[in-house]
Amino acid sequence: MFVHTVFFWLKHPESQADHDALRAGLGSLKEITDISAAYVGTPAETRRPVIDHSYDFSITFVFADKAAHDTYQEHPIHLKFVDTCAHLWTRVQVYDAVG
């Protein structure tokens, strides 16, 4: 199993239009069949010192293996997402894990 988790910080977090555009873009990624499980979300209302809730959106995608992840990275839908939505964020942080 290969787990791909990405956090996004919006350039204009006060903009509902930017929230909607990024959510739609992230949702489009779920169409990629190499993804075994897909979760798109926003920070939970949990407040403890160890929790970073400074981001605006996150995705967690589960793949069968690294090869499926690598295929996803080059998939036309993913490339279109980056091309279409990159102007919306100021920061992206990726965490990949294997199990």
CATH number at 71 reads 3.30.70.100
Query: pLDDT digits over 38-86, tens only?
Result: 999 999 999 999 999 999 999 999 999 999 999 999 999 999 999 999 9
pLDDT at 56: 97
Give phi and psi for 69, each to the nearest 5. -60, -45
pLDDT at 53: 92
How many angstroms separate the CA atoms of 42 and 26, rounded?
Answer: 12
Query: pLDDT digits over 4-36, tens only?
Result: 999 999 999 999 999 999 999 999 999 999 999
pTM (whole model) above 0.85: yes
The sign of the torsion formed by the CA atoms of 3, 89, 31, 41 equals: positive
Instruction: Flag whether 94 is in a domain.
Output: yes
Structural domains in the chain (count): 1
Instruction: Flag whether 57 is in a domain.
Output: no
In sequence order, what are the beta bridge partners of 37? 62
Domain that holds residue 23: 2-44+66-98
pLDDT at 99 over 90: no
Instruction: Flag whether 14 is in a domain.
Output: yes
Surface-to-core class of residue 37, CB atoms within 10 Å of its CB (0-12 exposed, 13-18 middle, 19+ buried): exposed
- Assess contact for 61 and 72: CB atoms under 8 A: yes
Instruction: Flag whether 52 is in a domain.
Output: no
Instruction: Flag whether 28 is in a domain.
Output: yes
